[in-house]
Structure 1
């Protein structure tokens, strides 16, 4: 794949695939004109990192969020592409192709933009590279779980929080969601499979169980101004819940190459008020400060690598199987022939060890004390770092 060198291209072009391989960079005329106007107002700025921070600031302004997100999506194309290529090498047994991995990652731009904090010294492209790897892995694990669950199995496994999110995502009204969740709670309470049953491949409850679920539901809604329903209606609701859960956990991927406008379309920049934004130089951090933070980030990376290399053989094997091969804790336990609860405990201990190492370095070198909020943020970054570090490790 040819890398983009020109600032205008970096923030206005998108990858197009042909036969599941990189084909070319497709230019969005509207984004190109937008970048040309902005660069003409700040001709001395030629750093893509600085422009990324600028557009990230614009993304946080409601009136600029749309165009800013598109510029940043263009900017992050290469980071997503290289992560997707790593996924094709790591997950060789999956039916997903390079372009599939790419689409899974790139639709998560909002998650990346929300989690990015330039004040912590990260470069957006580097931060995004770790997140893309994480979201692709999460989606693959999630899809595998959804694929192998029957309608009744997924209803037993899903949490109420996820079910609510699924029904809200489906656009259902609050009253309908209340009915569905109440019925679902009755379903989970009454339909308890036998121990010999496989929870993922549960069969349909028999008619007697549906009648019991219906009675429980109708008794619970007394005085709540909710509709009475028969057993056929309850079953239909549960099927709707399962469908909503599948659609939410396994969404349809829309191509990023879909047409967004032509060169003859209206120009967004024509409608931007002249006083809508401050000067670029007043919006971004100084280049010298960025260089210092980049150096600190490199030092932090080396500190963590050294800490990982000091771990015992078993701990390193666990991390490698989890992050490189995508194994579950159960699979790791079987592979290493140790108890599953030991895996969970060892992974927690390793994360704590790495966090303490990082906290000590931050206090000694950066004079930063770890507050509870900062520790929580650092813990999330630590997880992303582990994903990134082991993405380059091969068994």
Structure 2
């Protein structure tokens, strides 16, 4: 993939894929005109991509997220960050059904979430913050979809929660009465079809006839609780439950739609075309006046020192776990075998190591940046720390 060089490109072009590869940087003419206008107003004195990212972020923030022009500029800016996050994360998953464009689209759809959680006062760049969320989003999505793909209908129905199943059926367009009936059937199935320890949970087979008879008996006895629920035989219950499984599968593993998809019923145009032009001369002047790059660089340097010192204070076993996980990209099972401990112990100690580092980071933020800690801020710090750990343990020979 060719890296973009000019600010016009960085804030007005979007990746287009052909098959599994990037084919071209597509130019959005409306965004290009918007960026040209801003560069002319600033007399080209500001050439930093980070500066303009903060500018468009503040435009977006000032308009409470209602300025599609600023939002589109930020999506364009984060294209390369998203691409490299997708490529790096995919290497840790042995998946053949999901391509790089799939993962890219999963991640880029989270730009709204990224902007809502980003706080430039913490001293982190938008790219680093976005990279952590992109990677986390892709990992979570791939794990979930991998689980959905390899589960039989009956295993999936035992794993899915009632809340998620209701959302799935609502997403499928079913009526409230039908959903209530299906949920009753599902509860009867889940309470009566309990796999044995010898049964592979992901490959759970269809219930046998005796189990279906018990499920039918329970359902017809309990259906008085749902006035709209009709009487049903095993064949009908099986059909309903397969509908539930398919709805859950579609909801948890939806089809991906590119933001470059042509508009429906039109020969030309894409989904990103409908963005109005805007001008923010006074905000641009304020942002240039308030720019404090040196302060942010100092804070980033302090952050490195704090986290490096915190790692040095961890128990040797916790340090080893971090090294195996981030440096050698080991799975928890591989780590358990290397360290001769149980997998659940690895999971707990990895969580403990992260929590200890996060406490050090939070304390530093309170004392140095005078930031009041909230749950949202701690979550944001956790994402930034995750990205820092990935960079910190990256082999020096990596490109």
- Asked if 1:202 is matched to 2:204, the reply is yes
| Residue of structure 1 in register with 2:52 after alignment | 51
Q: Partners of 2:192 and 2:372 in 1: how far apart? A: 51
Q: Partners of 1:343 and 1:127 in 2: how far apart? A: 27
| Residue of structure 2 in register with 1:344 after alignment | 347
How many positions carry a matched residue from both structures? 389
Structure 2: 5+ residue stretches without partners? none
- Asked if 1:118 is matched to 2:130, the reply is no
| Residue of structure 2 in register with 1:167 after alignment | 169
CA contact (8 A) 2:133 2:383 kept: no
Given candidates 362, 366, 377, the residue that maps to 2:365 is 362
Q: CA deviation at 1:200?
A: 0.7
Structure 1: 5+ residue stretches without partners? none
Identify which range, 91-100 or 135-144, moves more after superposition: 91-100
Q: Secondary structure at the match of 1:25?
A: strand
TM (normalized to structure 1)? 0.82
Q: Partners of 1:362 and 1:369 in 2: how far apart? A: 8
Q: CA deviation at 1:389?
A: 4.2
Q: Secondary structure at the match of 1:24?
A: strand
**In 2 relative to 1, CA 151–41 (structure 1 residues): closer, same or farther, beyond 3 Å?**
same
Deviations along 1:280-334, one digit per CA (max 9) or x if unpaired, are 2377585434542343133213321342344344323323444466655445323
| Residue of structure 2 in register with 1:84 after alignment | 86
| Residue of structure 2 in register with 1:269 after alignment | 276
Identify which range, 312-321 or 129-138, moves more after superposition: 312-321
Q: Secondary structure at the match of 1:338?
A: coil
Q: Secondary structure at the match of 2:26?
A: strand
Q: Secondary structure at the match of 2:5?
A: coil
CA contact (8 A) 2:41 2:281 kept: no
Q: CA deviation at 1:394?
A: 9.2
**In 2 relative to 1, CA 258–199 (structure 1 residues): closer, same or farther, beyond 3 Å?**
same
Q: Partners of 2:396 and 2:249 in 1: how far apart? A: 33
CA contact (8 A) 1:85 1:98 kept: yes
Q: Partners of 1:143 and 1:320 in 2: how far apart? A: 28
Deviations along 1:197-242, one digit per CA (max 9) or x if unpaired, are 1111000112332343344334434254332241333322221222
Q: Partners of 1:246 and 1:40 in 2: how far apart? A: 51
- Asked if 1:334 is matched to 2:341, the reply is no
**In 2 relative to 1, CA 172–381 (structure 1 residues): closer, same or farther, beyond 3 Å?**
farther
Q: CA deviation at 1:386?
A: 3.5
- Asked if 1:298 is matched to 2:326, the reply is no
| Residue of structure 1 in register with 2:242 after alignment | 239
- Asked if 1:15 is matched to 2:18, the reply is no
